């Protein structure tokens, strides 16, 4: 039998004991300057995308962490107190598949998870002592914001004129979704563009035909499944990107499309 002496790297650690937990084959932990994954004896930083976030985290408040299931995807979650321009906010930093996003569950002070019937359920405690199940409601409206990078589009010295944008999304059958998009540059954002899956009925005179039910309420027809929502764009700059917001629940962004022309250099 061959035995090896393997020592874990001692140069990186954490003084946040409630921010350490197992995740798949790794041990994940947060310290005051990042999030790290311990795989075997190797420590790897996984929070490069949050380097500008950590200076605004108030570590005088507890940092807690757990696993969670969001739409049946196992994710890692850290609950922190964030200084948002002088306003304290309790936020959750969520990680999976080398990606990060942020959620806001209100004034949650601590989070933890527990397996129930083979599923990982996550829970949060608020300052009033009440316990809430997190990430479990997939039907209520939820405010979301997606902000892409500002793309150089393979030529950073040339001005790009945005012509059309497209948002690919898959929507459930019972949801009337409104997506509000802006086209962004390094200097400004375009006027808001409204994209929706509503279906309008038009008669031979090109007039809208409203539908009402037995209670006299207006019936909104919607399309379902995958769709490419496109619109004319008004933006130019060296770098172009999107911001898309919505309050619709349980839908999927499949991609973002941009038609553009290259203009002058410098």
Q: What is the pLDDT of residues 130-178, one digit of tens each?
A: 999 999 988 889 999 999 999 999 999 999 999 999 999 998 878 889 9
Residue 39 inside a domain? The answer is yes
Give the domain-ending residue among 78, 103, 133: 133
Residue 3 inside a domain? The answer is no
Burial 30-67 (b: 16+ CB within 10 A, else e): bbeebbbbbeeeebeebbeebeebbeebeeeeebbbbb
Shared-domain flag, residues 115 and 150: no
The pLDDT > 90 percentage for the chain reads 79
Number of compact structural domains in the chain: 2
Q: What is the pLDDT of residues 179-213, one digit of tens each?
A: 999 999 999 999 999 999 888 899 999 999 999 99
| pLDDT at site 1 | 61
For Cα atoms 145, 150, 152, give the angle at the middle one, nearest 5 degrees: 155
Torsion angle in degrees (nearest 10) through CA of 230, 231, 233, 234 = -160
As a whole number of angstroms, the distance between CA 197 and CA 178 comes to 7
Give the domain-ending residue among 133, 167, 188: 133
What residues have CB less than 8 Å from 154, skipping those under 6 apart? none
As a whole number of angstroms, the distance between CA 90 and CA 124 comes to 11
Burial 128-139 (b: 16+ CB within 10 A, else e): eeeeeebbeeee
Q: What is the pTM of this model?
A: 0.82
Tell the burial category of 124 from Cβ atoms under 10 Å away from its Cβ (0-12, 13-18, 19+).
buried
As a whole number of angstroms, the distance between CA 144 and CA 102 comes to 10
Task: Report the DSSP pairing between strands 119-126 and 20-23.
Answer: unpaired
Shared-domain flag, residues 26 and 107: yes
pLDDT band for position 243 (cuts 50, 70, 90): very high
Shared-domain flag, residues 128 and 31: yes
Shared-domain flag, residues 169 and 242: yes
Residue 7 inside a domain? The answer is no
Average pLDDT, the chain: 92
Contact 50, 100 (CB under 8 A): yes
Residue 139 inside a domain? The answer is no
Q: Residue 75: which domain range?
A: 17-133
| pLDDT at site 42 | 85
Give the domain-ending residue among 109, 133, 157: 133
Shared-domain flag, residues 106 and 155: no
pLDDT band for position 3 (cuts 50, 70, 90): low
């Amino acid at each position: 039998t061959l035995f090896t002496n393997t020592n874990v790297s001692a140069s990186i650690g954490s003084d946040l004991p409630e921010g350490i937990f197992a995740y798949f084959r790794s041990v994940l932990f947060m310290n005051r300057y990042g999030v790290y994954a311990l795989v075997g004896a190797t420590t790897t930083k996984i929070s490069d995308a949050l380097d500008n976030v950590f200076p605004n985290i108030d570590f005088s408040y507890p940092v807690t962490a757990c696993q969670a299931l969001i739409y049946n995807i196992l994710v890692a979650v850290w609950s922190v107190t964030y200084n948002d321009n002088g306003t304290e906010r309790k936020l959750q930093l969520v990680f999976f598949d080398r990606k990060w996003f942020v959620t806001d569950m209100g004034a949650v002070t601590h989070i933890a998870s527990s397996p129930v019937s083979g599923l990982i359920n996550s829970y949060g405690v608020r300052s009033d002592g009440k316990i809430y199940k997190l990430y479990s409601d997939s039907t209520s409206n939820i405010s979301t914001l997606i902000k892409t990078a500002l793309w150089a589009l393979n030529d950073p010295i040339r001005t790009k004129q945005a012509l059309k944008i497209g948002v690919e999304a898959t929507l459930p059958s019972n949801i009337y979704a409104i997506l509000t998009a802006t086209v962004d540059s390094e200097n400004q954002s375009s006027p808001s563009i409204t994209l929706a899956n509503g279906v309008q009925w038009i008669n031979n005179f090109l007039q809208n035909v409203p539908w009402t039910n037995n209670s006299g309420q207006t019936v909104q027809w919607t399309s379902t499944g995958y769709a490419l929502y496109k619109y004319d764009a008004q933006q130019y700059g060296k770098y172009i990107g999107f911001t898309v917001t919505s309050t619709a629940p349980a839908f999927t962004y499949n991609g973002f499309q941009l038609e553009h022309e290259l203009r002058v250099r410098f």
